Chains A and B, each alone.
Chain A
Amino acid sequence: MATTPNPRRRSPRVSDGSEALTPVGDTTLTGLQRLPGHTRYPLTPSRFAANTPSANRRTPRNRGGAPSTPYRVQAMQRRAANTPGRDRRRSGRVQRETTFDILRNLGKALAPTTQPIRSSPQEKPSPEPEPEPERDEIEELDNEPEIERPRLSLPLDEVDEVDEEPEIRPPRLSLAFEEEDLTHTSIEYPRRATSEHDRGRLSMMSVGGPRMSEIGAATRIESESEDEDDTGIVGDDNEAGEDTVISQGDFDGGGETEDLGRFNFDFNFPTPPPPGEDLDQDEPIHDDEGFELPVDMPLDTEAGLDDASVSMAADDFDMQSPLHQPVALSESQSPGIAGGGLRDEDRYMPGTKQKKLSRHGIPVPNLPVGVVKKLATRFARARNGSKAKISKETLAAIEQASSWYFEQASEDLAAYSKHAGRKTIDESDVATLMRRQRHVNNATTIFSLAQKHLPKELLQDMRLAMPP
């Protein structure tokens, strides 16, 4: 009947007022005519008086007094005109109010709050379910064809049944046949691509790296010294000749395979004298790195030992870049360019110069060995304890790695600055690099890293350079 809760609440008020003030005979009659069923109930008489909309509306105003001024009367009329729904609602409400109010009054009389809540669920389920299942069964029987019709009409089942079979089969077949090949290769492609790319990159770096020349020099030097000791100078000539070839190959830069092949040739020569090196050369992957680095080792070890080799190294440094004179000198402490390697000098010269150049054709200096060593020992000590010792071979490998690192990092930085449309590499570029290297994140800032690693002077400079 009535769904809105409002009428119930308002009804008592209205009824009281209407009863007290203005029950009109016509309205009561209309109310009675409208509500024949409610006469049964004893509580209705109050309703009869309250039923009329006119009574409902005017009672509150009559309480406050009749509209004294014409303005007020007009206002009320306007209000009534503006809201025509009122009368409807009231009239409807009256009817609905009656039934619910009857029940409500009953509930109030019997038990104000608890009973209606208890009674309604208790009563309802007990009588309702009994008739419902009967109806439901009948309805279901009636509805069964109705329900089936839409299902039949729906194409879903048929479509699924029909389509699933062809859909499932071809993909399996196609995937099975094609993917077996594709997956194997396709999964590996990116890996291979990256590895090849990186290797190519590294090898490029190694080609451009300054070590090569020194390595070559070292091998020759070793071979010289050792050959002199052992057999003869014949081996030297061969090696020297090939070294020059190698240097040319390095100059090409792109021709890595050629370099490799020549390196292999090279190795065959120097291998006999130092047996310990053979292991080193064989162990690493057959890359340029693997070859170069082992060759590096003897450089430093024997460079310190043999005067001739030292002089050779010094010469190389001199020729390549004057910057490294101090380093070379400090290492060798014998600047004599003695006749030990005159011919070697002539052959090395071009190669070494080219190798020292970066890919932009700018000569690349080396970090001083002392700095690298200091850093390496410091970090090795932090890791390994105080007795961590770094041999010269290890140091050479570390230097090689650091030169590669600088090449890689500076290329990245150049890319960043280029992307930013700048001509200079800025602090922000380095910050970007470090963020991309995952060194800087939410937990660590550049400043915390700098605080940890850099001396105070540099820290201050850095602070000035980049305000946080």
Chain B
Amino acid sequence: MAATQKLYPRATVKRVVKAHSNRSLSKNADILIFLDYMLFMQELMRESSIQSRKAGEKNISPNSVRKVTERTLRKFKG
């Protein structure tokens, strides 16, 4: 898994966080932020797949993602 994965665009992540927080980032904080983002994605996909399965859909539908989004975001509220 980890070996196959490419590096994510660190500069972009940094810029996103910087824009939202209006603060500069320390050198390697973006790695951890991206790690947290990965956890968020994992949770989001997990929840949405559960949701879609509950709805009887074959694949993950955008609706299930949307339904789950708010819940998952609240779960990731620090």
Contacts and interface: CB of A to CB of B under 8 A. Distances in A.
Contacts, number: 244
B70 A198 contact: yes
Contact of A397 (B21, B25, B65): B65
Interface in A69-103: none
Interface in B24-78: 24-29, 31-42, 44-46, 48-49, 59-63, 65-67, 69-70, 72-78
Cβ-closest 3 pairs across A and B: A465-B28, A414-B21, A410-B20
B59 A389 contact: yes
Nearest to B9: A368
Given A367-B9, A433-B78, A454 B31 contact: yes
Contacts of A425: 17, 21, 23-26, 29
Best-buried of B15, B77, B78 by chain A (most CB within 10 Å): B78
Given A383-B46, A427-B28, A375 B20 contact: no
Nearest to B15: A365
A398 to B, nearest CB: 6
Contacts of B27: 465
Given A360-B22, A362-B22, A424-B25, A384 B49 contact: yes
A416 interface: yes
Interface of A: 198, 202, 280, 283-284, 289-290, 293-294, 296-297, 323, 358-360, 362-368, 371-372, 374-376, 378-380, 382-384, 388-391, 393-394, 396-398, 400-402, 404-414, 416-418, 423-427, 429-434, 436-437, 439, 446, 449-450, 452-459, 461-462, 464-466
Residue among B1, B67, B73 having the largest count of chain A Cβ atoms under 10 Å: B73
A410 B16 contact: yes
Contact of A433 (B18, B19, B36): B36
Interface of B: 1-3, 5-9, 12-13, 15-29, 31-42, 44-46, 48-49, 59-63, 65-67, 69-70, 72-78
24 contacts: A280-B63, A289-B70, A293-B62, A296-B62, A359-B20, A360-B21, A366-B16, A379-B42, A379-B46, A380-B60, A383-B46, A388-B49, A398-B41, A402-B37, A407-B20, A414-B21, A427-B32, A430-B29, A434-B32, A437-B39, A437-B75, A453-B1, A458-B31, A462-B32
Which DSSP category, helix, strand, loop or mixed, fits chain B's interface? helix
Contacts of B8: 371
Contact of B5 (A374, A391, A414, A430): A374
Nearest to A279: B63
A405 B5 contact: no
B70 to A, nearest CB: 6
Contact of B69 (A404, A413, A455): A404
Given A202-B70, A390-B59, A450 B21 contact: no
A423 to B, nearest CB: 6
A227 to B, nearest CB: 24
B29 to A, nearest CB: 5
Contacts of A429: 29
Contact of A383 (B22, B29, B31, B45): B45
Contact of B7 (A397, A410, A457): A457
